[in-house]
Amino acid sequence: MTKELSQIIAQIEPVDPAWLARAQERLDSLTKPPGSLGRLEELAARYVAIRQDPWPELQRKWVVVFAADHGVVAEGVSAFRQDVTFQMVYNFLHGGAGINVLARHAQARVEVVDIGVNHDFAEAPELISRKVAYGSRNMAREPAMTREEALRALLVGVERSEAAVAAGVDLIAAGDMGIGNTTPASALASVFSGRPVSAVTGRGTGIEDKVWQHKVAVINRAIILHRPDPSDPLGALAAVGGLEIAGIAGLILGCAAARRPLLLDGFIASAGALVAAALAPAATDYLIAAHRSVEPGHQTVLNCLKLNPLLHLNMRLGEGTGAALGMLLVEAGLKIYREMATFAEAGVSEKEG
């Protein structure tokens, strides 16, 4: 671990319960029965406590989408060709993908980061070029990344968090794009949870039974080959992870260090959160699980992170789509906190006793 990463991790502190209590006191003074707005109140209190500001604003929102390819696609684990990764990056840049639509709805900016796509992109001002490698290697035959590559990808994520904070961003979401990336996500879910590969591996882009069985076998082969150790999160990430997963882990660490809440999308983003939490357990205090994917491993990962998802919409697209919807709920909770009248202000009698 480099000095730079160690310094980022050292800055991450648990959210102060006193700030949560202070925020809840304000929420309990509003013209409603205590707790009657449920998780909207929870979101508001957590936002206040993370920012350590009794009257925080929420104006600028970013969805950071990390894109990378995966050598393990050569094993036939995906229903789509690897070319789809770079084609979808162009789609993001042209504003035509699902995340573009939902981010516009949430009034959030989409930042696309090429952290490891197996393609040389034409000059595109909107693309953040931070390519660590032209995709990961085939983890079924060799480590997906070197430790140095995994670390570089982590630090790209930290850098993007710092860029967002410098731009005055209040709320950040993590998204992903990478054909085959449910395979490394499933491998990491198994490694960090201790669950069997078959229990945390889904159908990704829609593979059939025979291909799913093959996918499970490929992941098991990779884990047997590399023996990733959950107590060495950087090593596990390098062995069976992915460049975009590493970027997301770094984004989480950077946001936690800067006291910015981060909305997790689905299975891939949450696999990045497993790595971040293994490096800095307090980082989970800064995470909000936007939704639960239909990928079977996602609930296992959320259980490991002790996160309760906001939405259950049978989504499995990735890209940050679920996180963009979660932004609307965080914003709604904060509006309640800031704009709803107190009993005293409204001249309404409080509950007796």
Active site residues: 319
CB atoms within 10 A of CB 247: 32
Q: Are 218 and 140 in contact (CB under 8 A)?
A: yes
- The CA-atom distances, in angstroms, between 227 and each of 180, 186, 216 are 21, 15, 16
SS3 state of residue 174 = strand
- By three-state DSSP, how is residue 113 classified? strand
Three-class SS of 282-351: HHHHHEEECECCCCHHHHHHHHHHCCCCCECCCCCCCCCHHHHHHHHHHHHHHHHHHHCCEHHHHCCCCC
Nearest to 329, CA basis, from 126, 41, 80, 88:
41
Distance CA 63, CA 130 (A): 17
Provide the β-strand partners of residue 65.
112, 175
Asked if 173 and 99 count as a contact pair (C-beta separation under 8 A), the reply is: no
Q: Say how far apart CA 215 and CA 179 lie, in whole Å.
A: 14
Centroid of chain to Cα 54: 26
